[in-house]
Structure 1
Amino acid sequence: MRTSNRLSAKGAATLGPGKYADGAGLWLVKEETARGKWVLRVTVHGRRREMGLGAFPAVSLAEARKHADAARAKVRAGLDPIKERQRERREASRNLHLLKDVALDAFESRKAELKGDGKAGRWFSPLERHILPKLGKVPIADIDQVDIRDCLAPIWHAKAATAEKALGRLSICLKHAAALGLQVDLQAPEKARALLGRSRHRVENIPAMPWKDVPAFYASLSNGTVAHMALRLLILTGVRSSPLRFLHESQIDGDVWTIPAEAMKGRRDATADFRVPLVPEALAVIEAAQAHARDGFLFPSVRKGVISDATMARLMERREMDARPHGFRSSLRDWLAEAAGAPHEVAETMLGHVVGGSVERAYRHTDFLEQRRALLARWAQHVTGQSGRVVELVRA
């Protein structure tokens, strides 16, 4: 009888329950006529091992022989074919957990916490632009501090803020991978920071106009264009440019403008809707802007959507001014401290800042609306060149 290739494909299909040798350690174990399994018996390092090669008839006789030949070759090379197969499966499994896949999964799990469900892309963009092009196809378990250093070194000093964001997002991805049960080095980002060294980049604040110079600039915004009116309302209210640019008529109720929570800066759960008191000067600007409104938005762009932040900034650039639109929040804050003597919590609330710890906020049920209205009325008098005494505010 032949010592190998004893079975035939046709004969294997008709065999009943039992164990049948094909030779050279390959066996067909039949549980019943219609199905069974292939088993290879090998001796590795003096130990007898049995290695499954798949179910019959899903794995044909020819395939079983091919798998058996590959396993015997590993034995001849001094390797354990069972352990080698396990290692190969682990490698294949790791390739299903590339950084790009984990990053997308981490992003999806956090969308509900992000402003506008993360649609603006600000959370994911540092990863997408500076991490994933180089490390996206690397198994996350393989990423170490040297990989991270080499990835961020080109922007570590030139674009420090962006590099910090990218490093922070990567750290979140590693923690997400660990929660999924993957073996990762959670300390790799901090080790990379040590390798990168302290950034030479100096953080510069957005240039702000001194509050005493604001009236002259406000008076120059007089041609009734969308950009001029937007800047006027930005100055009068102290809000950020994004909610102002997306101001919709439905957000205004009488002399109160309510900015939805998701339109405020930061996480969706960081604050509730924010009420902005509208003094007569602000209401007059809004009434004038309604003549330009499109689809309910008071400050539309020329073609579609609303004006961009750059529209207002370019206006100031063309006048060769150092200050920028966002800087008017600083102008207002300085005026509140230097000229109005406003209580800290009221002044900070005017800028939409979260004041106090979570316990303090839980017990404070006021947003200082009327106190802020009085201060903004005084601010409007200042920016329009009117005079008046400083309003004394009582802490709520």
Structure 2
Amino acid sequence: MATRTLHRLSARGLQGLSKGKHSDGGNLFLRVDASGARRWSFIYALSGKERELGLGSLRDVSLAKARERAAEMRSLLTEGRDPAVVRAAETPATPSFGAFADSLLQDIEGQWRNEKHRSQWRMTLTKYAAPLRDKPVDAITTKDVLSALRPLWGTKPETGNRLRGRIERVLAAARARGHIAGPWSNPAAWRGHLDQLLPARRTLSRGHHKAMPYAAVPDFMALLAEQDGIGAKALAFTIQTAARTGEVIGMRWSEVDLEARVWTVPAARMKTAKAHRVPLSEPALEILKRIAQLRDQDEDGDSFVFPGAKLGKPLSNMALGMCLRRLEIDATVHGFRSSFRVWAAEATSYPHDVCELALAHTVGDRVVAAYKRTDLLEQRRGLMDAWCRFIQARTGIVSLARIDRAAPAA
């Protein structure tokens, strides 16, 4: 049987190929890197020298498309023309790292719901990657990457590690777009490369958000009730609903059904990317009704429930924490979620799933979630009513002097 000279590979078997260089025939090869990345190459000899042109990653270029590109290059060779020279004439100048990073961010930032995450990417690739920004992406070396990382590696290890990963992502994308040709290894790769040149990153213990012992929360709520201002009301509402700060300060009147006693946080504002219904207890409803009475008659139905100082803007993300600091409370806003969770576990008999769903946590794995078609709203309503009865009933057993001794969050 004659040996096949063309089309030796099959689309079905490409993902199963091991590390190395695999020929499809006709100068077309699929390279599989140690990381598992797969990319097409056109390898040919001209004037006694072997040359290699990248044709893109397997993720972006199918087997059929790679064969088309290889056929075009073989035609150029038949005409006595160098495919590399022809492509260089047809391809725009290689972009700089800065220009390509900015372009890439425009393409991928839509996958992040959090504006803070977007701004962090932009900042690190602008400020901390400054030594790389003017260099062509195909000219960046390991030495260049180290020049950007070393100032951060010992003093800000977390930032340094994030910068390294983002540089690696930008360069990998530049390679996939065809801006980096020939044999290449990512100079920002960690395993088997930079891990040999930089000390292991220190693992910093983040700890937990400081949480107030739940027995102290009723006394604190009594103190909070004496405070004026929208920040104090927003903090009280956050504790009563066990919600996250971002969910509360971004809350709009269009999300609230006072009659049904339900607040529905849209998926776009949820950490889980799923809409979340929050049952509203009487104390939480009372706060909303009092704020509603203070609303300007000209405000539309989609204005913020807890407005900030600037017209049309919500309360600052720092406002709730500042309220705690003014009261000299050594705890965090997020820590009250832990206070609630410990109380629910120790002082109630509500099932685990009900308590977790009250915090908008994902319950079970994907299979379990697929069969669970209810958010247990009414059971959660009973739980939140019980929580609010507890935190509104100051006993005086726990003095305010003890509140600042926050317990670690569970």
* TM-score bracket, shorter-length normalisation: 0.5 to 0.7
Alignment pair present for 1:218 and 2:214: no
Instruction: Give unmatched runs, 5+ long, in structure 1.
Output: 1-44, 46-81, 388-396
Shift of 1:356: 2.9
Give yes or no for the alignment of 1:255 onto 2:252: no
Unaligned runs of 5+ in 2: 1-46, 48-80, 396-410
Trace 1:250-329 onto structure 2 (pairs within 5 A): 250-253=254-257, 254-265=260-271, 270-293=272-295, 295=299, 296-304=303-311, 305-329=313-337
Which one of 175, 197, 200 corresponds to residue 197 of structure 1? 200
Secondary structure of 1:216 counterpart: helix
What is the CA RMSD across the aligned residues, in angstroms?
3.1
- Shift >6 Å, 4+ stretches: none
Report the Cα distance in structure 2 between the residues aligned to 1:371 and 1:385, rounded to whole angstroms.
22
1:208 corresponds to 2:211: yes
Separation in structure 1 between the aligned mates of residue 341 and residue 93 of structure 2, nearest angstrom: 52
TM score, norm. by length of structure 1: 0.66
Any idea what the Cα deviations from partners look like across 1:163-188, whole Å, max 9, x if unmatched?
34333333332332233134353473
Alignment partner for residue 152 of structure 2, among 150, 155, 170? 155
Q: Which amino acid aligns with 2:266?
A: P
Letter in 2 for 1:238: A
Question: Counterpart amino acid of 2:239?
Answer: I
Question: Are the counterparts in 1 of residues 95 and 137 from structure 2 also a CA contact under 8 Å?
Answer: yes
Q: Distance in 1 between matches of 2:129 and 2:86?
A: 26
Instruction: Give 1:366's aligned residue.
Output: 374
Matches within 5 A, 1:344-363: 344-363=352-371
- Report the counterpart of residue 103 of structure 1 in structure 2: 101
Counterpart code for 2:381: R
* Contact 2:96/2:136 (<8 A) preserved: yes
Among 234, 238, 247, the residue aligned to 1:243: 247
Q: For residues 214-269 of structure 1, what are the alpha-carbon distances to aligned partners after superposition, in whole Å with 9 as ceiling and x for unaligned?
A: 1111111223420111000000111111120121111002311111111123xxxx
Task: State the alpha-carbon separation in 2 of the partners of residues 87 and 127 from structure 1.
Answer: 36
**What does the per-residue CA deviation read over 1:361-381, in whole Å, with 9 as the maximum and x for residues that have no partner?**
222212221222111111111
Corresponding residue for residue 27 of structure 2: none
SS of the residue corresponding to residue 96 of structure 1 reads coil
* CA distance in structure 2 between the aligned counterparts of 1:187 and 1:141, rounded to whole angstroms: 10
CA gap 1:130/1:386 in 2 versus in 1, 3 angstroms = same
Q: Distance in 1 between matches of 2:240 and 2:246?
A: 15
Q: Please give the alpha-carbon distance, in whole angstroms, between the structure 2 residues aligned to 1:292 and 1:250.
A: 17
Which deviates more, 97-106 or 179-188? 179-188
User: TM-score scaled by structure 2?
Assistant: 0.64
Residue 133 of structure 1, CA deviation: 2.1
User: 1:166 and 1:354, CA in 2 relative to 1: closer, same or farther beyond 3 A?
Assistant: farther
Q: Report the Cα distance in structure 2 between the residues aligned to 1:94 and 1:199, rounded to whole angstroms.
A: 42
1:1-396 equivalences in 2 (<5 Å): 86=85, 96-115=94-113, 118=115, 121-122=118-119, 124-183=121-180, 185-186=185-186, 188-190=188-190, 191-193=193-195, 195-199=198-202, 201-222=204-225, 223-253=227-257, 254-265=260-271, 270-293=272-295, 295=299, 296-304=303-311, 305-385=313-393
- Label 1:87 to 1:146 Cα distance change in 2 as closer, same or farther (>3 A): farther
Contact 1:158 1:201 (C-alpha < 8 Å) held by counterparts: no
Identify if the C-alpha distance between structure 1 residues 88 and 370 changes in structure 2 by more than 3 Å, giving closer, same or farther.
closer
Secondary structure of 2:215's match? helix
1:107–1:282 Cα change, 3 Å: same
- Give CA deviations for 1:180-208 in whole Å, capped at 9, x if unaligned: 13435347331335514221533233222
Deviations 1:128-155 (CA, angstroms, capped at 9, x unpaired) = 4554323222223333444333323333
In terms of fraction of residues, the more helix-rich structure is: 1
1:349–1:355: 8 Å Cα contact kept in structure 2?
yes
Larger Rg: 1
What CA deviation, in whole Å up to 9, does each residue of 1:303-335 have, x standing for no partner? Answer: 331211212212212233221212212212222
Q: State the number of aligned residues.
A: 300
The code of the aligned residue for 2:265 comes to: I
Distance (whole Å) between structure 2 residues aligned to residue 289 and residue 89 of structure 1: 65
- Matched residue of 1:124: which SS? helix
Distance 1:307 1:240 in 2: 14
The alignment partner of 2:318 has SS state of helix
Seq. identity, %: 29
The 1:385–1:202 alpha-carbon spacing in structure 2 relative to 1, beyond 3 Å, is same
Preserved CA contact (<8 Å) 1:130 1:166: no
